[in-house]
Amino acid sequence: MDWSRVTLSENIYQAATAFNVIFTKIVDKHLPWKKIRIRANSAAWINNEFLSLLDAREYHSRQYNICPCPFHFEKWRLSRLVAHHMKLRLKREYVKNCLAEHKNDSKKLWHEIRQFWPSSKSNSTMIGDILGADTIKGKAEKIECSLCKYWP
């Protein structure tokens, strides 16, 4: 970088302007702006380990799209599978902890159960994911049977 415009300036304002121009070019070159996505409403069951696994999955997906090689495809496929199983495990643990925490207070317990219960307006399979029954799709008796194994 040529700093002569700063050192040879006769006026302090010209020197400051020249310094800012040079410094901004250096910063833009070595510290470029990076867009990040911030989610305010992350689920309560998501932890840092799961997020880092998702980052690894996305990294290998991007690398495979840039250069389709078997290495990145296998890494992406494996991390996708591990993330799926971790998601199911974390959801199950979260529900078990919520049920155990509120099992002596029926009002809070039913509030927790209604969070995961599919409504008539949605095709939510969240309760199916949590309880391990992928075929539930909102049938009350099947959900009830699935919940019985967690009920004392």
Within-domain flag for 29 = no
The domain tally of the chain equals 2
pLDDT of residue 128: 57
pLDDT of residue 85: 92
Residue 91: which H helix or E strand, with range?
A: helix 70-101
Tell me the per-residue pLDDT of 36-60, one tens digit each, with 9 for 90 and over: 777 666 777 888 899 899 999 999 9
**Where are any strands of DSSP class E within 1-152?**
none
127 domain-assigned: yes
Does the pLDDT at position 30 exceed 90? no
**pTM for the model:** 0.53
Q: Is the pLDDT of residue 16 over 90?
A: yes
The reply to whether 76 falls in a domain is yes
Task: Decide if pLDDT at 137 tops 60.
Answer: no
End-to-end alpha carbon distance in the chain: 73
Token digits for 36?
Answer: 């990040």
pLDDT value for 130:
56
Domain membership of residue 50 as a residue range: 44-90
